[in-house]
Structure 1
Amino acid sequence: MKHAAGTLAFIARFVVLGLAMAFVVSLFWPGSGERLRARFGLSTSSPAPASGTVHMGNGPVSYADAVAIAAPSVVNIYANKIVTEQAVKMYDNPVLQQLFGGQPTTYQHREQTLGSGVIVSAQGQGYVLTNNHVIAQAADIQVLLYDGRIAKATLVGADEETDLAVLKIDASNLPVIRMADQQLLRAGDVVLAIGNPLGLNQTVTMGIVSAVGRQLNSASAEDFIQTDAAINLGNSGGALINTEGELVGINTLLIGKAAGAEGIGFAIPVATARKVLDQLITTGHVVRGWLGADYAFVPLAANGGLPAAARGVQVTEVTPGGPAEQAGIKARDILLRIGNDDILDPADLRRREAALKPGNVVEVSGLRDGSPFHVEVTLAQRPPMSANTTLGD
């Protein structure tokens, strides 16, 4: 009897253990444990990620939330221009020209350009930031909003040097884009370009920041964000955003395959766009300070008298009658400081002088033939410059 009772107890323990193991396995076996997990109050699905980006493992796989935040602020721009062209004479024979009334020497036709824009303000009336080359010489500008509304736009002001323009539209309930802190942008950051390429409407492309501070025109004070996010005809003026849906730049140009390039596009940084936007809304134009000189990097041969860490610029040419010449600055001088700031390179000096107001007096320090000098320069207003060349956009 004792032997039989021990056997029954062993079998009972084995059955209980087996049931317990089956219960545990059922909790984690795909599909089979849903009812049990629900019955015991356990979660039946994975928790949603805390941020707006969907994650799988350690890497983001979707930027749909960032696009949903920014896309309503991106608009399509259709600018109609009246273009005058030289006509081709069909009849060179004077008799035929007289018979058929001859041919006009010129004719006009309407041409429509495609572009994009970003709603940056909705106070009173909406302001849209775009590229100057999208709306230049346009007789009529139409803006297609994200929700399908069409608004007639008027030009507030344009700046050829940065290739930026501000439009005004009369519409309500406009979604204004959030602007990012440009100082946080780094090479390698993921960015998204939103715009109207080739008239396809609201297209999103993805890439990374290839570089910041790109100088495309040595005489210009502006710099660019370089990206490999696809930018095509019609993307000009559209938004370059980060993964939080914030504006980091205005897409403006690309170097096309005709130049043997691929994945090289450029956007105007949001910090530059803000400054231009404020001035265009306030005065209709942008005013920049000007020293009246051209600069280059300091040649190694001229670096003998400089400290190892000094960078500065070398003056290559002084504009006759300009502020620099009046202050006594000469070609071949090495400039090290403007005001209280060290000069890093030619682009840095152009940005600093442009940020100052004409009429301001600023101290400039440098070296002439190895000897230090200090002069006071009264800044003038920078003369107009030709617009940036768009390569393939």
Structure 2
Amino acid sequence: MKNGAVKVLIGFIIGAVSVGGYAIAIPNNVPVVKACIDNKTKALYASTNGSCAKGRSAIDIGATGANVKSIAQLVSPSVVSIEVTALAGNGTGSGSIYKSTSSLSYIITNNHVIENAASSGKIEVELNNGDIYTASIVGRNSEYDLAVISINKGNLPEIPRGNSASLAIGDVVIAFGSPLGLSGTVTSGIVSALNRPVTTGSTTAESYMDAIQTDAAINPGNSGGPLVDSQGRAVGVNSAIATLGSSFGPSGNIGLGFSIPFNQAIRIADELIATGKSTKPFLGISFDPTFTGNGAKIAIITPGQAADKAGLSVGMIVKSIDGFKVNDAVSAIVRIRSHAPGDQTIMVVETTAGVSKTFNITLGSSPALP
């Protein structure tokens, strides 16, 4: 496999010890600032003098890092455990409460967590307080490994939303989830890399991830749970880890975890909630799977679609997209999938004559696979 593209597995093994309701990895002492958390909505408010209004509680937020205990108190009420029972196989995972009305709550998770129950089976959601509700699938997107489920329980605390585009390598992040059903598990680490091309799933149903790489421990059951920043705002959906393989011993966390950027998850979740379906950007290119050089070689162009309209042709080799080097077809697909339909992208290619040429392309839209 070429440098930069990672194929990961979604099977894990872990042991954990829970203390005080949370399994927490606490970083070194860092400077903190005072803030207030609304006791009902869990919304976060600044505090200039450390005092809080009635109905709000004081917490500490890391100024240059994160106070994991405070972040756990802020975020955990918005994190759920998911259990799937189906003929195709049972499983567990995690999710975060994305939207909540007076009678209904929508939860973001991974498609691979709930897909076995897509045709038949049962999905149960356990809230932070231990209450359990039967869930329904609102919509799925296997190509981004995202799904939205809902429960008939309203007025639940929504996960605070962050901006995954503002992340930088070295930023402190905290992962939430229920590894092996151990709800309330919290681990911390840093952003190890950004824009990591990652694929998961089978060759017939692959998901492509423009991943946030982190060394915060992600293990089985963490899938679908939130990755949050140092202010407790969701910046990712924990999805997979790299493993050494069975010949190296039990599969588990080795400090290489991957999360789907939350900005991407928001777009897809909103579409799924609105219509039950979602879209993906469409370039209208198929790449040559036998090409072994640097870049991604164009094998097929769909007439009338974005690439054809822009003037690309078969035989050209894509070298970079939006300034990101393209090592192979996977990295090219991931860069395109990081966009939304209608976005513009800048592509540098090598023509069949060996000349470098730049194209400005407006991406089309195509239905994403459930």
1:379 CA drift (Å):
3.8
State the match for 2:230 in structure 1.
Answer: 243
* Mapped partners of 1:277, 1:61: distance in 2: 28
Matched, 1:381 2:366: yes
1:115 CA drift (Å):
0.8
* 2:68/2:188 contact within 8 Å kept: no
1:327 CA drift (Å):
6.8
State the match for 1:283 in structure 2.
Answer: 275
* Mapped partners of 2:358, 2:66: distance in 1: 57
What one-letter code is carried by the residue in structure 2 that aligns with 1:292?
G
* 2:178/2:222 contact within 8 Å kept: yes
1:145-173 residue CA offsets vs partner (Å, 9 max, x unmatched): 11222111110000001111001111133
Q: Which runs of 5 or more structure 1 residues have no equivalent in the other structure?
A: 1-47, 84-110, 303-312, 386-393
* 2:178/2:185 contact within 8 Å kept: yes
Count the aligned residue pairs: 292
State the match for 1:132 in structure 2.
Answer: 111
* Mapped partners of 1:329, 1:356: distance in 2: 20
1:372 CA drift (Å):
5.9
1:348-368 residue CA offsets vs partner (Å, 9 max, x unmatched): 77645774548x999988664
1:217 CA drift (Å):
3.5
* 1:156/1:167 contact within 8 Å kept: yes
What one-letter code is carried by the residue in structure 2 that aligns with 1:278?
D
* 1:221/1:350 contact within 8 Å kept: yes
Task: Trace 1:148-227 onto structure 2 (pairs within 5 A).
Answer: 148-217=130-199, 222-227=209-214
* 2:210/2:334 contact within 8 Å kept: no
SS at match of 1:69: helix
1:226-261 residue CA offsets vs partner (Å, 9 max, x unmatched): 111111111111111122111111111112242658
* Mapped partners of 1:362, 1:211: distance in 2: 22
* 1:291/1:379 contact within 8 Å kept: yes
SS at match of 1:318: strand
* 2:236/2:262 contact within 8 Å kept: yes
* Mapped partners of 1:120, 1:381: distance in 2: 25
1:315 CA drift (Å):
4.0
Matched, 1:262 2:240: no
* Mapped partners of 1:70, 1:351: distance in 2: 30
* Mapped partners of 2:280, 2:179: distance in 1: 33
Over aligned residues, Cα RMSD in angstroms?
3.8
Choose between structure 1 and 2 for higher RCO, CA contacts under 8 A separated by at least 6 residues: 2
Q: Which moved more, 1:157-166 or 1:182-191?
A: 182-191
State the match for 2:80 in structure 1.
Answer: 75
* 1:143/1:151 contact within 8 Å kept: yes
Aligned identity (percent) is 33
* 1:236/1:251 contact within 8 Å kept: yes
* Mapped partners of 2:344, 2:196: distance in 1: 29
* Mapped partners of 2:95, 2:168: distance in 1: 24
Classify 1:137/1:220 alpha carbon distance in 2 versus 1 (closer, same or farther; 3 Å): closer
* 1:290/1:354 contact within 8 Å kept: no
* Mapped partners of 1:67, 1:227: distance in 2: 18
State the match for 1:88 in structure 2.
Answer: none
* Mapped partners of 1:188, 1:375: distance in 2: 32
State the match for 2:37 in structure 1.
Answer: none
SS at match of 1:136: helix
* 2:80/2:125 contact within 8 Å kept: yes
Report the TM-score, using the length of structure 1 for normalisation.
Answer: 0.63
* Mapped partners of 1:345, 1:257: distance in 2: 26
Larger radius of gyration: 1
Classify 1:375/1:318 alpha carbon distance in 2 versus 1 (closer, same or farther; 3 Å): farther
* 2:277/2:368 contact within 8 Å kept: no
What one-letter code is carried by the residue in structure 1 that aligns with 2:84?
A
1:292 CA drift (Å):
2.0
Q: Which runs of 5 or more structure 2 residues have no equivalent in the other structure?
A: 1-30, 35-58, 201-205
Classify 1:148/1:325 alpha carbon distance in 2 versus 1 (closer, same or farther; 3 Å): same
State the match for 1:8 in structure 2.
Answer: none
Higher helix share: 1
Classify 1:227/1:380 alpha carbon distance in 2 versus 1 (closer, same or farther; 3 Å): closer
* Mapped partners of 1:207, 1:68: distance in 2: 18
1:325 CA drift (Å):
5.3
1:66 CA drift (Å):
0.9
SS at match of 1:171: coil
Classify 1:237/1:319 alpha carbon distance in 2 versus 1 (closer, same or farther; 3 Å): same
* Mapped partners of 2:158, 2:335: distance in 1: 28
* Mapped partners of 1:134, 1:180: distance in 2: 23
SS at match of 1:215: strand
State the match for 1:331 in structure 2.
Answer: 314
Classify 1:50/1:381 alpha carbon distance in 2 versus 1 (closer, same or farther; 3 Å): closer
Task: Trace 1:1-80 onto structure 2 (pairs within 5 A).
Answer: 50-51=33-34, 52-53=59-60, 62-80=67-85
State the match for 1:121 in structure 2.
Answer: 99
* 2:145/2:207 contact within 8 Å kept: no
Higher strand share: 2
Classify 1:195/1:354 alpha carbon distance in 2 versus 1 (closer, same or farther; 3 Å): closer
Classify 1:142/1:333 alpha carbon distance in 2 versus 1 (closer, same or farther; 3 Å): same
